[in-house]
Amino acid sequence: MDDKINELNKIRITAIFLHSSLASPNIGEVVVAQAELDSLIDSFQSLCSDFVTDEEIETARSDIEYFLKLIDSTARKCRTRSGEKTG
């Protein structure tokens, strides 16, 4: 479970960097950032399919703030589940 949490941290950091790119006045940068975000969300969904619903993923695709919150809540769930298994 620690590997999953570490991977979630990496996804969150990448999403934060993409967040600023999505706000760029340069449309090319926004298009590239959106494609990278879609790929990142796909990776997140594969990693955490047991914690998130398809509806949450679809909302995350259109709202990066929601995606960041979803990453955080999923990490908390992972930590809780990890504590239950080891504690």
CA dihedral 41→46→54→69, nearest 10 degrees, is: -50
Domain ranges of the chain: 2-86
The string of pLDDT tens digits covering residues 38-69 is 999 999 999 999 999 999 999 999 999 999 99
The string of pLDDT tens digits covering residues 5-36 is 999 999 999 999 999 999 999 999 999 999 99
Q: What residue type is 64 in one-letter code?
A: I
**Who contacts 32 (Cβ-Cβ below 8 Å, separation ≥6)?**
21
The answer on pLDDT for 87 being more than 90 is no
pTM of the model: 0.88
**Who contacts 43 (Cβ-Cβ below 8 Å, separation ≥6)?**
11
